[in-house]
């Protein structure tokens, strides 16, 4: 049975773990993921556009980032770069690494989504006088993001958990706060289970939001299909009346 002392420790530590989660873990995730999406879109568009030199640079970036551990990347940026005179604070260092890391993975998701859009839609855009950028912005990217939404949402949930690695470069997020409480109370099992529960809470909220987003995108897609069908019916009726 759980002793009264342990209950007191868990009750006392809950807010001490949750508050760094809200004030550090969540901002770290949001900022990093936002920058990662920007990096991913640019990298995916470069590869999709088949610009030879830039494509090779983009592929090299993806190859290096996906081929090395996230923890090693954190150590290189925070502990390694000071050796050549580049010193970063823990939080910015974590943002840079998480953004570059997630950007590489997300770029492959977005690239695959871009390639899933039928080429005929680009040709149709050119036929009505659109430029390449207009076609990408109005036709290709909206469809690609609908396809990429579920895997990108999963990546966001994964990033929430990966931020625990930032404790290794002294970012005072909730896992590091837990480690400090463990060092003081000598109750690792209960406290690590407690922080795991808080991570689970965050992930559950994001999962619910993901499902809401998927339902809304599905409804929007259905509306678009209905609009297209109605347009086709109207055209057929007009042709029939014209005859």
pLDDT in tens, 72-90: 999 999 999 999 999 999 9
pLDDT score of 123 = 80
**CA 66 to centroid of chain Cα atoms:** 15
Provide the pLDDT confidence category of residue 225 given band limits of 50, 70 and 90: low
Provide the pLDDT confidence category of residue 228 given band limits of 50, 70 and 90: very low
Higher pLDDT, 215 or 166: 166
pLDDT tens column, 208-218: 999 998 888 87
Q: Output DSSP code: residue 173.
A: -
Provide the pLDDT confidence category of residue 222 given band limits of 50, 70 and 90: low
* Residue 55 confidence (pLDDT) above 70: yes
CATH number corresponding to 4-242: 1.10.3720.10
Higher pLDDT, 130 or 181: 181
For the segment 163-182, the average pLDDT, to the nearest whole number, is 93
Q: What is the CB-side half-sphere exposure of residue 28 using CA atoms within 13 A?
A: 28
- Nearest-CA neighbor of 217 among 153, 136, 128, 137? 153
pLDDT score of 202 = 94
pLDDT score of 226 = 61
Helix axis angle, 188-242 relative to 141-162, nearest 10°? 170
């Amino acid at each position: 049975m759980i002793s009264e002392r342990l209950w007191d420790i868990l009750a006392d530590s809950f807010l001490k773990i949750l508050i760094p989660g809200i004030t550090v873990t969540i901002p770290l995730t949001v900022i990093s993921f936002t920058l990662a999406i920007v990096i991913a879109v640019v990298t995916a568009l470069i590869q999709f556009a088949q610009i030879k030199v830039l494509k090779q640079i983009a592929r090299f970036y993806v190859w290096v980032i996906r081929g090395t551990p996230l923890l090693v990347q954190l150590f290189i940026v925070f502990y390694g770069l000071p050796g050549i005179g580049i010193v970063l604070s823990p939080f910015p260092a974590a943002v840079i690494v998480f953004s570059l890391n997630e950007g590489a993975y997300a770029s492959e998701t977005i690239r695959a989504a871009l390639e899933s859009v039928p080429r005929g839609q680009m040709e149709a855009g050119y036929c009505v006088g659109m430029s390449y950028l207009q076609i990408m912005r109005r036709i290709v990217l909206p469809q690609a993001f609908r396809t990429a939404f579920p895997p990108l949402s999963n990546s966001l949930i994964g990033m929430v958990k990966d931020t625990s690695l930032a404790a290794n470069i002294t970012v005072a997020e909730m896992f590091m706060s837990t480690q400090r409480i463990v060092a003081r109370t000598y109750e690792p099992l209960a406290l690590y289970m407690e922080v795991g529960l808080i991570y689970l809470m965050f992930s559950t909220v994001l999962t619910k939001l993901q499902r809401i987003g998927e339902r809304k995108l599905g409804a929007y897609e259905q509306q678009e299909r209905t609009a297209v069908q109605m347009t086709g019916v109207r055209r057929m009726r007009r042709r029939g009346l014209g005859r």
